[in-house]
Structure 1
Amino acid sequence: MINSNDTGRRPHEILLEVLGDSNIPILAEFDCCHTHPMLTLPIGCEFSLDAGEGTVMLMEPPLAD
């Protein structure tokens, strides 16, 4: 049951089950926003994610000129 807190499964495990064989990237266990350390990601900005290297790069300035 997806909405049960008692499944013992992590959210990304359920997501993988629901998506099946879909070939889309999934980022899991990424500490940002309301965690420690608090890495803030600006909403609406373009990012580059390299899962192999474990990097996330902001591709544009977060503030307008």
Structure 2
Amino acid sequence: MTVAATGLAPRIIDVQLNQRTDLTQPRLGQPQHDSILAAGLALQAAGVIGQTVDVQEVLWALLDDRLPTV
């Protein structure tokens, strides 16, 4: 399903989701932000996300960094 939705090769999807996206931490930091942004830009380049969408702006609107640190 991911291949059909993105039009990306399975190896690229694997790298992005399994090697560059680390969601094991309870709080999303800069590495996770960068990875999600790269994924959004890749989806935009593949035509899944419209060209007029400001991916960075949407990402900042969706990420809530107010989670208290432990």
TM > 0.5 = no
Which has the larger helix fraction? 2
Computing the radius of gyration over CA atoms, which structure comes out larger, 1 or 2?
1
* Larger relative contact order (Cα-Cα within 8 Å, sequence gap ≥ 6): 2
